[in-house]
Amino acid sequence: MPEGYVPLRKTEHHAVLAQSLSNNGDVTTQRSPAQNNTSSATARVASQLSDTYYVDNFNYLIKFVTRHYQHLLTADELKFCHTYDSLSNTAQQTYVRLASRSTDLLRTAKLHYPEIENISDGINELNSIGFVSKEVEFSSEECASLFTRAELKSVLGLSSSQFDPACINPDAFTTPDLFGDSPLTRLLANDSIIAVHHKELIVAFRLLFFGNLHQDFSSFVLRDLGLRQYENYKIDSDTVLFQEREQLAAHLHYYQCAELFDSACEQGIDGLQELHTLLPQPLQYDKTLDRRLDTFKNRIARQLERLEALDIAAQIYSQTTRPPARERLARIQAKSGNTDSALTLCKAIQALPLDTDELDFANTFGARLAKKAQQCFTSPARHAPPESTLQLHAGNLSVEFSVALHYAKTGKCYYLENSLLNGIFGLAFWDIIFAPVSGVFFHPFQHQPTDFYESEFTISREQMIRQRLQQIDNGQLQQIVNSHHYQKKGLRNPLVNWQWLKPHTLSLALKRIPKQDWQAIFKLMLSDIRNYRSGQPDLIYFPDDGGYELIEVKAPGDRLQKNQLRWMHFFNEQRMSHSVVHVEWIE
């Protein structure tokens, strides 16, 4: 099943090793990132949280939504905020603790909060105003998930090793045994079940505050512990993320649909089609909603393609503009023998491409289609990068490191892939990325402006970008990069990977690569950050004789990817030294 992947988390955390290869041929491995940094941004680390931190954070959120969004809140939501405010400290503590648990049903015996003086007082108070229920009805499935397998086995008398909680008889928990006790009363002999209410309101509040649902209260904690440090950008208090209630409702609605994706996949074509009809309507004034909906529609349609429901997929693709919708549509048309409309679509993409990827597709795919159909189609010639072959002994190292080691004999060579150009771009334009453009910073936990990958990013900052390119022309690049590297070290930036960027490598790159080349690189990246932040060559090589070369390493059987070819094409046009090295293993 291609979609619906199971994300697996690695608990074993391998220390990240940054290998730098010098021309004595020795391989130095450095542990990173530096914990005892002396620079300004990393000065504050490992602070302690106050003992009321979680209530403080919750109160902050409540205050934020009532202050900024009072007019958008429903009567229920307002009442919730008001009631919460009137609670005793103990009840507030208790509610925040309970609401931060992942399930709605909880066992009181499993609650251990030593900082709450008397948690049963808190629960009683919450019960009286309806924030929790002490009397709960629950299904046998819910009951099974509340207790451990050992507990269930012992109380149900099913000691079999093949015990499956999924097929417990619905009445099993309530059926009295010989002594007149039901399994449930035994499970609850020294325990009780409570239900936590109104958690869905907190979800809505999170959306109002963060603008998304993948961030939560841990953002506060991680910041306050100094584990995630954000740039101190100016938050735009004039613009507000949501104007209308229908907007909030639509986003919440979307997130509910997104959760259904996996099960819809399992239900096949009908399930996916049903899910598509379930989606909220877009709103003209909400571009974020458009983006979320279009991305999701593309995902549904892509899965329908896999199930060979091409017509339905095509219909959904044609409802969105977001790439790769037009690419997929053209492929479907070509596949179903509709060469003419596929070609027309390719020409439309060529005329008004929405991004680089789409344009490259139209050029290559259109040319191939036209050739087959013997029609006329114009597309730029493809660049064939200089290639060479290197014979190496197979060892423990990856191909990239093996080649780097080879080049280290005659210079310095680093395996940095996207980290180098991205990192220098991020440092060179740091202040512009975090510039106070209106409506791009809404809360203190953003690592990038909301429009970072949009085409408006460049337009909204045109003046600043022009100035920066001029400064680079005046020879100030090295100074700008170095000062940002020093001042901002450890702060989050969408393009800067601090562990891989060592000052030595930075200064070498800035010294060896001329400013005209940097200007061209930056202009290119600014033209489409999303598509040009990847595909950069594996290695950068600084020969002892001077100069530099960007090298993409290819093991036997591996070939250039689309985005890698794009960069090679650019290097060629800019007359920057580049090549592809094919490795042949010997012995």
Angle at 392 between CA 391 and CA 397, to 5 degrees: 145
Instruction: Decide whether 95 or 365 has the Cβ nearer to DNA.
Output: 365
Beta bridge partners of 391: 584
All residues at 6 or more sequence positions from 355 whose CB lies less than 8 Å from its CB, including other chains: 323, 528, 530, 531
- Contact map string, positions 391 to 430, toward DNA, x by CB under 7 A: --------x-----------------xx------------
Closest approach of Mn ion to the CB of residue 418, in Å: 9
Residue type, 463: Q
User: Among residue numbers 480 through 519, which ones bind DNA (CB under 7 A)?
Assistant: 497, 499-500
Is 574 a binding residue for DNA by CB under 7 A? The answer is no
* From the list DNA, Mn ion, none, partner contacted by residue 218 (C-beta under 5 to 8 A by kind): DNA
Side by side, the strands of the sheet bearing 132-133 are 105-107, 193-196, 132-133
Separation between Cα atoms, residue 453 and residue 322, nearest integer Å: 13
Single out the segment in contact with DNA by CB under 7 A; choices: 110-118, 133-141, 189-197, 238-246.
Answer: 110-118
Which one among 28, 89, 103, 174 touches DNA, defined by CB under 7 A?
103
What is the torsional sign of CA 225, 227, 228, 229?
positive
Candidates 350, 349, 344; CA nearest to 373 is: 344
Angle at 495 between CA 494 and CA 496, to 5 degrees: 105
Separation between Cα atoms, residue 515 and residue 505, nearest integer Å: 16
Separation between Cα atoms, residue 530 and residue 323, nearest integer Å: 12
Closest approach of Mn ion to the CB of residue 539, in Å: 9
Which one among 149, 245, 383, 504 touches DNA, defined by CB under 7 A?
149
Closest approach of Mn ion to the CB of residue 538, in Å: 4
Instruction: Decide whether 53 or 64 has the Cβ nearer to DNA.
Output: 53
Residue type, 186: R
Closest approach of DNA to the CB of residue 353, in Å: 17
User: Cβ–Cβ contacts within 10 Å for residue 149, how many?
Assistant: 11
Separation between Cα atoms, residue 26 and residue 555, nearest integer Å: 23
Q: Per residue in 324-335, is it b (16+ CB within 10 Å) or e — as a string?
A: bbbbbbbbbbbe
Is 337 a binding residue for DNA by CB under 7 A? The answer is no
- Contact map string, positions 424 to 463, toward DNA, x by CB under 7 A: ----------------------------------------
Closest approach of Mn ion to the CB of residue 571, in Å: 15
- Among all chains, which residue has been given the structure tokens 């949009």? 454
Q: What is the DSSP track for 188-227?
A: TTT--EEEE--HHHHHHHHHHHHSSSS--THHHHHHHTTS
Is 582 a binding residue for DNA by CB under 7 A? The answer is no
Decide: 393 and 422 in contact? Cβ < 8 Å: no
Distances (CA, A) of 120 to 128, 137, 424: 12, 20, 56
- Contact map string, positions 226 to 265, toward DNA, x by CB under 7 A: -xx-------------------------------------
* From the list Mn ion, DNA, none, partner contacted by residue 1 (C-beta under 5 to 8 A by kind): DNA
Residue type, 363: N
Closest approach of DNA to the CB of residue 108, in Å: 13
* From the list Mn ion, DNA, none, partner contacted by residue 47 (C-beta under 5 to 8 A by kind): none
Closest approach of Mn ion to the CB of residue 568, in Å: 12
Contact residues toward Mn ion (CB under 5 A) are 538, 553
Decide: 506 and 370 in contact? Cβ < 8 Å: no
Instruction: Decide whether 148 or 474 has the Cβ nearer to DNA.
Output: 148
Candidates 453, 451, 76; CA nearest to 239 is: 451
Closest approach of Mn ion to the CB of residue 427, in Å: 22
* From the list DNA, Mn ion, none, partner contacted by residue 101 (C-beta under 5 to 8 A by kind): DNA
Closest approach of Mn ion to the CB of residue 163, in Å: 48
Instruction: Decide whether 90 or 419 has the Cβ nearer to Mn ion.
Output: 419
Beta bridge partners of 26: none
* From the list Mn ion, DNA, none, partner contacted by residue 7 (C-beta under 5 to 8 A by kind): DNA
Is 315 a binding residue for DNA by CB under 7 A? The answer is no
Does an H or E element contain 320, and which? none
Separation between Cα atoms, residue 121 and residue 90, nearest integer Å: 8
Q: Evaluate the omega torsion of the peptide bond into residue 543 and state whether it is cis, within 30 degrees of 0.
A: no
Instruction: Decide whether 104 or 538 has the Cβ nearer to Mn ion.
Output: 538
Is 563 a binding residue for DNA by CB under 7 A? The answer is yes
* From the list Mn ion, DNA, none, partner contacted by residue 354 (C-beta under 5 to 8 A by kind): none
Closest approach of DNA to the CB of residue 315, in Å: 17
Single out the segment in contact with DNA by CB under 7 A; choices: 22-30, 142-150, 240-248, 503-511.
Answer: 142-150
Which one among 60, 113, 285, 486 touches DNA, defined by CB under 7 A?
113
Q: Evaluate the omega torsion of the peptide bond into residue 324 and state whether it is cis, within 30 degrees of 0.
A: yes
User: Among residue numbers 274 through 313, which ones bind DNA (CB under 7 A)?
Assistant: 305-306
Residues that bind DNA (CB under 7 A): 1-2, 5, 7-14, 16, 48-49, 53-54, 97, 100-103, 112-113, 115, 148-150, 214, 218, 221-222, 225, 227-228, 305-306, 331, 364-365, 368, 399, 417-418, 497, 499-500, 533-536, 538, 552-555, 557-558, 561, 563-564
